[in-house]
Amino acid sequence: MAIDSKKSLKSKLPVISVAFALSAATLLGGCTAQVRVAAPPPPPPPRVYVAPPPPPPAYVAPAVDVEVQANEAPPPLPTYDQPPPPDDGYLWTPGYWAWGGGGYYWVPGTWVQPPRVGVLWTPGYWGFVGGVYAFHGGYWGPHIGFYGGVNYGFGYVGVGFAGGRWVGNSFAYNSSVTNVNVTNIHNTYNETVINNVTVNKVSYNGGAGGTAAVPTAQEKAAMSEPHVPPTPAQRQHIQEAGKNPALQAKANGGHPAIAATPKPGAFNAPGVVGAHGAAPLAHTPTPPPAQTVHAQTQPGTQPAGAKPLGTTQPPGGKPPGSTQPAGAKPPVTALNGAKPAPKPLPKPKPKPQPQEKKGEERP
């Protein structure tokens, strides 16, 4: 048995040797150093142009408040000074371009008495929507609504109103932005207005070159409040402006000679203010009233140019009571209608005094 064990062990030695050799080769192979070369970085991805986000869409107002539409943009707002209020209690309504008769015309800014205590004026504005310019009319209300972000000036800086406020039943004027005569009006205050809106003369909202304002939360709330339409004086003011040829934009080149008035419709009253660069108004003098010739005469009088009753004038003679000899030329009338100065009469010659005879005694 021992001999068989030795023989089997000897027979297995070559196999074990081969296994050890393979294991050693494997271990030596694992110790071999490997040198790796870094691959080049991948190329950067191609640049793709990303357009900037589009501007916010223009505000689309309800169609119910659109008064008129036009295919062309209104002219820029003119530059003008504000006339002082005529009396306490008047509120300022800024001027604007209106459309009528195939073109734009200027509605002058003016001072208006509000329809009741506590209301403020929200001015109208032009908005570009759907390829046309639509005008949204102004209104009276307890708060200022949206007016397109248009900077009308004098407290209307594009958002809200800083020209005054109601204090109880009286309106107080902010003298820092309102041309108020503190000598006549004492209900004033001075508050600096910080204007965060770009100051320009753009007169419309939306479209190319228009303002990009949208209603704020406060303006949306004011738009849903009860409103009062323009007063009869305001409507008459607009109608009179449309009839005035001098206010047509084609005639004044965007610089109306009547840019603001002290009261509605007072286009020829003292205190009218013209736009900067406007031509002065040509005032046509009023002709004097013509004299009326009455056909009827009072008893005992004769019409002008009539001959006295019961008398005749001989041919070539002189009328009764006339001192002009017959056949003499009629008196010459000057070119201006006045009679020429009469010629001086010759001085009478002194009468010769009778000479006294010598020797005669005076009685």
As beta bridge partners, residue 213 has: none
Question: Can you give the pLDDT at residue 333?
Answer: 45
Separation of alpha carbons 41 and 218, rounded Å: 57
Question: Can you give the pLDDT at residue 95?
Answer: 98
Question: Can you give the pLDDT at residue 40?
Answer: 75
Instruction: Count Cα atoms within 13 angstroms, Cβ side, for 260.
Output: 27
Question: Can you give the pLDDT at residue 150?
Answer: 96
Find the farthest-apart pair of alpha carbons in the chain and give their distance in angstroms, rounded. Answer: 239
Segments making up each domain of the chain, as ranges: 63-162+198-261
CA dihedral for 352, 353, 354, 358, sign (positive or negative): negative
Q: Write down the residue that tokens 């307890």 correspond to.
A: 142
Backbone φ and ψ for 122, nearest 5 degrees, come out as -100, 115
Which mean pLDDT values do the consecutive 10-residue runs of the chain (363 residues) have? 51 56 55 60 70 54 71 96 96 97 96 98 96 96 97 96 96 96 92 74 95 95 95 97 96 97 96 93 54 45 47 47 49 47 60 51 43
Separation of alpha carbons 251 and 9, rounded Å: 129
Contacts of 324 (CB under 8 A, 6+ apart): 318
